Amino acid sequence: MKAKKSPWSRIALYLFVFVICVVILYPYFVMFTTAAKSNDEMYAIGGSLLPSVWQWSNFIDIWREAPVFKYLLNSIVVAGGATFLAILCGIPAAYALSRMRFKGKGIFMGAVIMSQMFSPVVLLVGIYRLMTAMHLTNSLIGLILLNAAFNQAFAIWLLRGTFTSISSEMEQAAKIDGCGTVQALMRVLLPGAAPRQIAVVTSFLDDYIFPAILHDAADVFSRQGYSTAVYATENQVSMEREILLRLLEEPVGGLLVEGSKTALPTPNADLYQRLFQTGTPIVFLHGAYAGLERVPCVADDNYGGGYQLARYLAGQGHREIAGIFKSDDVQGPQRYHGAVSALRDAGLSIRDGRFAWYDTEDRRHLLENRDRRLLADFLQKRMPRQ
């Protein structure tokens, strides 16, 4: 059994994190306060940290007097162009280093690593002469080419590690099916470089049926080259929200989710919409939320199950049929609908007092305290002996 942590250790941890955050954020605070000072106060010797008069107009003047928007646009163009070019040139080299065998492979790998040891300043004169000869000085294209060149070794090294982590059997299977090297690269390796993990979000890990479902799902994911990350919400929408926020920060290759309190409107629909926008495939398990019906859902025929069970009892000659259903998950109302529909079709009376409801909090209380009063009260008060 794990020892209970002292509250002082948690306080000390929070204080440590707070101090680190202050140290990291202090320069940004100084930049902000300095930006709100006048020129005289900014250059004054022995000035204060906070401005005597906050010059909020400085933030407006900077957009009027300097082409800040153009600077930001140039940065986006250069960063995006250099990234695209570095990846485009790095993919063939990384593929060769990961999958092919050739003489001098080790020497080439060493040269790629050693190229990162040279400071750009050492090459400054040569770069300037080259850019001048190519008429690329003072141009965005020149900056894109330079940034791509200096990051090429990093891109090759990173992509090589990614390609190496992908099973070669998948590529071989593609080649058996008729793909060439380039087609296998485009159709297998590049898609395989996306996140290779499936997140499974369930209500309760110890549910009587879920361990078997998780085992089978993880086995299918594993055969396709995916690992499985399992999360439990305890059927709490707050915990579900925390998990979805984490998955937005740490993207996965897909999401299999058993919703929390699916019979009720969900406050987490906005996060599911954000996951859709990122292109994350989502499949609901056991039931989908209202408003998210377009999402694929793997569910039991709860209506049919309730109908068949009630019809069977009626066929055995029972006339006083009752039921207990879960109210906050969509399965409960669906099973109730099937049961009362069967009673109606059998010509039996439907007495509301013969049906009881419980929710997630009732379930937790019953399991934690081994409280049998819900069932006992139901039998005594709602199912009196005739």
pLDDT digits (tens, 9 = 90+) for 304-333: 999 999 999 999 999 888 888 999 899 999
Rounded to 5 degrees, what angle do the CA atoms 318, 322, 327 make?
Answer: 155
Q: How far is Cα 356 from Cα 374, in angstroms, rounded to an integer? A: 9
Of residues 214 and 11, the one with the higher pLDDT is 11
Task: Kindly report which listed range (101-105, 112-116, 294-298) carries the lowest average pLDDT score.
Answer: 112-116
Predicted pLDDT at 170: 67
- Half-sphere exposure of residue 220: CA atoms within 13 angstroms, side-chain side: 8
Of 249, 256, 297, give the one whose Cα is nearest residue 271: 249
Contacts of 36 (CB under 8 A, 6+ apart): 51, 54, 55, 56, 58, 59
Judged against a pLDDT cut of 60, whether residue 291 lies above it is answered with yes
Of 175, 136, 139, 149, give the one whose Cα is nearest residue 88: 149
Say if CB 314 and CB 346 are below 8 A apart.
yes
Instruction: Summarize pLDDT for 236-258 with one digit per residue, the tens.
Output: 999 999 999 999 988 888 899 99
Contacts of 10 (CB under 8 A, 6+ apart): none
Q: What percentage of the chain carries pLDDT values higher than 90?
A: 30
Q: How far is Cα 17 from Cα 38, in angstroms, rounded to an integer? A: 34
Average pLDDT score over residue span 39-52: 83
Judged against a pLDDT cut of 70, whether residue 192 lies above it is answered with no
Predicted pLDDT at 307: 95
- Confidence band (pLDDT; 50, 70, 90) for 205? confident
Q: How far is Cα 21 from Cα 13, in angstroms, rounded to an integer? A: 12
Q: What is the dihedral of CA 222, 192, 288, 332, to 10 degrees?
A: 10
In this structure, what token pair is assigned to residue 371? 């409280």
Average pLDDT score over residue span 221-244: 86
